[in-house]
Chain A
């Protein structure tokens, strides 16, 4: 499989912005995804970006893609306690396969 890397932990104060980073290895990846996993729950598709885009914004979420550096980031504006979860970056690897990072546990401090 592909190597998708994320830092394991991130803590932010409520109201601040959170930035979760991810690096991937397959330059031919067509789609890159962000999923959210709350405790005891499945994976929720937050957003995704096509590889020919640099940025995608959806309400409080902004995804930035740097294809040259194979770097993907998710910015959450005005982070709330309900945003506390594990966030997974994933790249589409063909054959209906998504290659996931290990996940970043975001803790929002009230």
Chain B
């Protein structure tokens, strides 16, 4: 089944403790993105990647890092999480030649 998967789905952590949220897609998509969803703000893009080893900032990149060492994986790294990063995070992917973007199931992160 073609899909975007994220792990973990739920995570509660403390301020300053480094964490990684994984994202994987099995559709051989070139483009991958990370978004965060906050009440009343819709979804905002954090980082995106056009292909392996090619990443760039989105609208709200502060406090986040990403890497794209393999085409299928696009992990989101929070080196020192803070409470304002408590949010629902979505990974998404699409093919270069398509404008259909597919989303993962989301990761709900709480930073205390």
State the A residues within 8 Å of B (CB): 1, 4, 30-31, 33, 35, 41-45, 48, 88, 90, 92, 95-98, 100-103
Query: Is B33's CB under 8 angstroms from A42's CB?
Result: no
Q: What residues on A are CB-neighbors of B42 within 8 Å? A: 4, 88, 100-103
Q: What residues on B are CB-neighbors of A88 within 8 Å? A: 42-43
Could you tell me which residues of chain B, from 71 to 112, have a CB within 8 Å of some CB in chain A? 90, 94, 99-106
Q: Measured between alpha carbons, how far is A43 from B100 in the docked complex, in Å?
A: 12
Q: Which residue of A lies closest to B39 (CB)?
A: A102
Chain A nearest CB from B92 CB (Å) reads 8
State the B residues within 8 Å of A (CB): 4, 31, 33, 40-45, 48, 50, 56, 58-59, 90, 94, 99-106
Q: What residues on B are CB-neighbors of A98 within 8 Å? A: 43, 45, 101
Q: What residues on A are CB-neighbors of B105 within 8 Å? A: 41-42
Chain A nearest CB from B102 CB (Å) reads 7
Query: Is A96's CB under 8 angstroms from B50's CB?
Result: yes
Q: Measured between alpha carbons, how far is A43 from B56 in the docked complex, in Å?
A: 23
* Residue of A1, A33, A98 with highest tally of chain B CB at under 10 A: A98
Q: 3 tightest A-B contacts by CB?
A: A100-B42, A43-B103, A42-B105
Set A4, A35, A97: member contacting B48, Cβ < 8 A: A97
Q: What residues on B are CB-neighbors of A96 within 8 Å? A: 31, 33, 45, 48, 50, 94, 101
Set B50, B99, B106: member contacting A42, Cβ < 8 A: B106
Q: What residues on B are CB-neighbors of A92 within 8 Å? A: 99
Q: What residues on B are CB-neighbors of A48 within 8 Å? A: 99-100
Query: Is B48's CB under 8 angstroms from A102's CB?
Result: no
